Amino acid sequence: MDLLQQGGAEITSIGFRRGSRPAPEMPGTVIDLGQTRDGQFAQRIAAVARTLPKLGRYADAVRSADIIIARNLEMLILAAAARRRYAPETPLVYECLDIHRLMTGTGMATRALRLVERTMLRQCAGLISSSPGFVNEYFAKLTPRLPKVFLIENKIFPAVNETRGVPTVADGPPWRIGWYGVVRCTRSLGIIKQVMAENPGLLEVVVAGRPAKTEFPNPEKDFGGIPGLRYHGSFADETELASLNRSVHFAWAIDFFEAGANSNWLLPNRLYRSSYYGAVPIAPGGTETARWLQRKGAGFVLDEVTPESVAALLKGMTMEKLAAARAALRAIPDADLVTSPEERFTLIRELGALARRKPPGAMPAGQGGSVAGSAA
């Protein structure tokens, strides 16, 4: 939403929230539909069902929009219904930045949800996604007739006023890996623990960010008492994250939480941040992350991620090899890692081209509106 706002759009957000109240940094006007909870799909479905008869309360906001953007499947259902009733000429755009594992299963619930998503997608003029993997491996197989696709990668936005990666970490070994962001992969933790246990003095790991409560319900305990591993907790802002990336040699860009599906298809935030701030990414082969790194000629890709392959990479590492890997990161253009002002204006201009009022250029602040279904 910040991208839309800084591109010149006027935003009205109509959506559910995950916390006890809407996030204070939410841009524009916020219309709160109540609280839903991660992982509790019955509760979320019930919330959608309760809201459908009340959509008339938000008719004015819907009618005033140039574009309606639905930021997940539950909001797509509500947005499509509101559009049909109050603004049938207004383009509907579906934003999907992750493919939940419930959408990639084989059970009846999965088939029903995919049918709903396929039906709703046919009503959309646009699809916003953060990775070509989601488009090619999921949406293109969901329906052969996709709307216009907007690829908005998880680049740094906005970048802090810092120069490109200037490492502060001492020479290795021990080699230090940063595992930052949404931390949810118990298999990764098992691999890391085994490498450290079998190779004393080879590896140190710093964990920072937001551990998934479903996988790590007690982070202090889950990550505590492991020699060589330090749990930093959450990071305050981009400046602290930049500092964390500079304090390690490598970034753990590996996730098996939804292996074979979402984990294979995504391009995570940590990929762009580690590359920009100087921590060399390590990624699993056969994933969209690995393909991204291979196109850039950067990072290290492991065909199979095992304790043995990780240990072999680190045992064969030298400061000369690391210097070459850091140079490869610095060769990646800033535009591939940081969202530029031109990208913001291009997005607004292209969204505006879908709207019933088509502005000739970027949509000036106050002229364009969007209704975004969101978890505030």
Answer whether residue 190 shows pLDDT above 50: yes
Give per-residue pLDDT as tens, 213-233: 889 999 999 999 999 999 999
- Is residue 22 scored above 70 in pLDDT? no
pLDDT digits over 232-242, tens only? Answer: 999 988 889 99
pLDDT at 358: 41
| More confident position, 268 or 31 | 268
We report the CATH number of the domain holding residue 121 as: 3.40.50.2000
Question: What are 270-313's pLDDT values in tens digits?
Answer: 999 999 999 999 999 999 999 999 999 999 999 999 999 999 99
Identify whether residues 183 and 308 lie together within a single domain.
yes
Q: Same domain, yes or no, for 90 and 235?
A: no
Please tell me whether residues 141 and 207 are part of one structural domain.
no
Whole-number Å distance between alpha carbons of 220 and 108: 38
* 210 and 327 belong to one structural domain: yes
pLDDT at residue 131 tops 80: yes
Q: Same structural domain for residues 19 and 121?
A: yes
Decide if 312 is inside a domain: yes
pLDDT at 364 over 50: no
- Using left for φ > 0, alpha for ψ between -120 and 50, and beta otherwise, residue 20 falls in alpha
Confidence (pLDDT) at 248:
98
* Within a domain: 268: yes
Arithmetic mean of pLDDT over the chain: 88
Domain coverage including residue 38? 2-155+339-373
**Confidence category of residue 352, pLDDT binned at 50, 70, 90:** confident
> So what's the pLDDT on residue 359?
39
Instruction: Identify whether residues 322 and 242 lie together within a single domain.
Output: yes
Say whether pLDDT at 369 is over 80: no
Distance CA 369, CA 10 (A): 5
Question: Could you give the percent of the chain with pLDDT greater than 90?
Answer: 68
Number of domains in the chain: 2
How far does Cα 153 stand from its chain's mean position? 8
In angstroms, the CA 11 to CA 18 distance is 20
User: Above 90 in pLDDT, residue 341?
Assistant: no
Q: Do 365 and 66 contact (CB within 8 A), yes or no?
A: no
Residue 322 has pLDDT above 80, yes or no: yes
Beta carbons of 3 and 157 less than 8 angstroms apart: yes
CA distance 334 to 155: 10
Residues 128-167 as b or e (16 or more Cβ within 10 Å = b): bbbbbbbbebbbeeeeeebbeebebbbbbbebeeeebbeb
Measured in whole angstroms, the distance separating CA 152 from the mean position of its chain's CA atoms is: 10
Is 170 within a domain?
no
Same structural domain for residues 268 and 344? no
The candidate with the shortest Cα–Cα distance to 302, out of 210, 197, 191, is: 191
Note the helical H segments in the chain: 2-6, 41-51, 59-63, 73-86, 108-121, 132-134, 140-142, 186-198, 219-222, 238-246, 262-265, 269-277, 288-296, 307-315, 319-330, 341-354
Residues 87 and 99 occupy one common structural domain: yes
| Residue keyed to tokens 């964990």 | 207
